[in-house]
Amino acid sequence: MEITVDKLAMFRESYNPKNSNLNLNIDWSVEYTHTDQKVMGYDIVLKSDEYLNLSFKIGGLIKLGDFEEFIQQECSQIIFHHACNMLMNLISLTKQSNYELLNGEINSAVNFGATF
């Protein structure tokens, strides 16, 4: 079985929390299209409203090999696991970071912070 990601979207209304420990209550759902074929589409949506207000959506394809059978519960768990990992990586990438750049005689501090 091959699972690909074709689309990725994250919608947020607030900044990253300053706490280093992030506990999220995630509501999630997976929708499938063309489940009677060897290639089918999926969309998973992860939502968190309590601590970090966000919606995260991934869309892609599942391609079944010869003699493989689509088992929705197992595919949903695999997709959910990888979607959670992607979400946590994106949250980590968008945290605020400070760097000091040295350029000859000029020292400058640069603050990288992604806001959504």
Specify the pLDDT at position 104. Answer: 58
Domain count for the chain: 1
CATH number of the domain that 78 lies in? 3.10.420
Q: Is the pTM of this model over 0.85?
A: no
- Give the domain range for residue 80: 2-112
The larger pLDDT score, comparing residue 90 to residue 97, is at 90
Q: Helix/strand/coil (H, E, C) string of the chain? A: CEEEEEEEEEEECCCCCCCCCCCCCCEEEEEEECCCCCEEEEEEEEEECCCCCEEEEEEEEEECCCCCCCCHHHHHHHHHHHHHHHHHHHHHHCCCEEEEEEECCEEEEEEECCCC
At residue 116 the predicted structure's pLDDT band, cuts being 50, 70 and 90, is very low
